[in-house]
């Protein structure tokens, strides 16, 4: 209930600061009507999920998430407008109240539309080269296609997943890694939508680790279903891949927060490495959250592939990711460990991506220069 009141107060703030400065009662009335619609749709999306018919629940979610994305843009732009007006006070500038008020809904609508296009398009391929000291010649050029944070659910359906699978298969990678937050919902509701994942193709197969959203949705059920689709689920364990005579350790850990849901699945990179051949030419850990990196470095991994952050998904929320995670996006070094954090292949919540485009990542491992 507190959240509803806060949402109402924030809508009231936007209306109070912008509507009186719009040109004429018609524009002001239209803007207030837009705010009232937003205020109704955002909570309705959450309540609508309880609808008996899945299609009805999904339509409510679509409407509410679109409204949430627009509201977010309106709130940020209203705050920026107030800062601009405050900064302009000491200067003898032309009147800014009306032009800046017009700019708020105009830019918010354009940003929401642009962000919607960015979220709904199939993620583009991002090429990343990772230099590894002492990499065996047989593993020179080994490639992993990484997808993460697809969030199959009310607004991400089978067609979206199928397009991702087709894009990954065109890469002809040596292995495919799915680093968590694949789903937002129960197996019974989303089984049909994730089915295209059975079509993922690579030389050594597809490997999956859980993200926090799998635990919200029934991680054991999802692990069982994904296993039946041909994905190898790695929960604090590893497999050894033999690639042209060289050994590569492909390991995976449960999500960093898994122990809050199942104490027996506490994320444990040391356990994932246990028993791995000491002479392996490359040791890769799949870990949903970048904050697994210190433990991965201690366990002796060369590379960690992560997601979770969405790269912030849309500005300005990317500025707050470092408050929780050591890395927001891209390739970083922690001691001798390389950590790659994907910006995600889908989206969560509002269908909105601004300044943090989605990606399918093709990681290519090469021998580091002496």
Going from the first residue of the chain to its last (370 residues), give the mean pLDDT of each consecutive group of 10, the final group possibly shorter.
87 96 94 96 78 82 94 96 92 85 97 96 98 96 98 96 98 98 95 98 98 95 97 98 96 97 95 95 97 97 97 86 92 97 96 96 93
pLDDT for residue 319: 85
pLDDT for residue 110: 97
pLDDT for residue 49: 66
Beta bridge mates, 126: 361
Which positions ≥6 away from 229 have C-beta within 8 Å?
194, 195, 197, 198
CA distances from 261 to 257, 267, 316 (A): 8, 12, 31
pLDDT for residue 50: 66
pLDDT for residue 317: 80
Helix (H), strand (E) at residue 85:
helix 54-88
pLDDT for residue 1: 66
pTM of this prediction? 0.93
- How many whole angstroms separate alpha carbon 33 and alpha carbon 35? 5
The length of the chain, given as a count of residues: 370
pLDDT for residue 45: 79
Among 341, 333, 45, 336, CA closest to 180: 341
DSSP-H helix ranges across 121-201? 158-170, 187-194
What domains are there in the chain, each with its CATH number? 2-120 (no CATH), 126-367 (3.60.21.10)
Cβ(201)–Cβ(173) below 8 Å = no
Cβ(78)–Cβ(18) below 8 Å = yes
Examine residue 316 and say whether the peptide bond preceding it is cis (omega within 30 degrees of 0). Answer: yes
CA distances from 68 to 37, 72, 112, 212 (A): 11, 6, 10, 22
The three-state secondary structure class of 144 is strand
């Amino acid at each position: 209930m507190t959240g509803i009141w806060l949402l109402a107060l924030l809508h009231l703030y936007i209306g109070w600061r912008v509507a009186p400065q719009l040109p004429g009662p018609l524009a002001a009335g239209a803007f207030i009507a837009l705010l009232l619609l937003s205020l109704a749709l955002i909570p309705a999306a959450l309540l609508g999920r309880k609808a008996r018919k899945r299609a009805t629940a999904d339509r409510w979610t679509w409407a509410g998430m679109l409204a949430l994305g627009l509201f977010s843009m309106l709130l940020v732009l209203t705050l920026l407008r107030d800062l601009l007006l405050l900064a302009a006070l000491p200067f003898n500038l032309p009147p800014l109240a009306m032009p800046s008020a017009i700019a708020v809904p105009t830019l918010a609508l354009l940003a929401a539309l642009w962000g919607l296009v960015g979220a709904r398009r199939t993620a583009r391929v991002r090429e990343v080269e990772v230099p590894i000291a002492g990499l065996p010649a047989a593993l020179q050029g080994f490639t992993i296609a990484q997808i993460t944070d697809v969030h199959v659910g009310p607004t991400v359906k089978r067609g979206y997943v199928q397009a991702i699978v087709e894009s990954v298969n065109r890469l002809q990678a040596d292995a495919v890694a799915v680093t968590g937050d694949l789903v937002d919902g129960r197996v019974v509701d989303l089984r049909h939508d994730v089915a295209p994942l059975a079509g993922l193709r690579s030389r050594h197969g597809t490997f999956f680790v859980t993200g926090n959203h799998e635990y919200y949705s029934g991680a054991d059920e999802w692990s069982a279903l994904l296993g039946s689709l041909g994905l190898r689920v790695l929960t604090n364990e590893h497999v050894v891949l033999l690639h042209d005579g060289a050994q590569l350790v492909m390991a995976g850990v449960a999500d960093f927060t898994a122990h809050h849901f199942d104490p027996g699945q506490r994320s444990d990179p040391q356990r994932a490495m246990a028993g791995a051949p000491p002479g392996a030419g490359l040791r890769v850990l799949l870990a949903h959250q970048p904050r697994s990196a210190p433990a991965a470095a201690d366990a002796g991994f060369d590379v960690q592939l992560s997601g979770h952050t969405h790269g912030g998904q849309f500005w300005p929320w990317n500025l707050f990711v470092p408050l929780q995670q050591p890395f927001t996006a891209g390739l970083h070094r922690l001691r001798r460990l390389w950590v790659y954090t994907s910006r995600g292949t889908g989206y969560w919540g509002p269908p909105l991506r601004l300044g943090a485009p989605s990606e399918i990542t093709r990681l290519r491992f090469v021998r580091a220069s002496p």
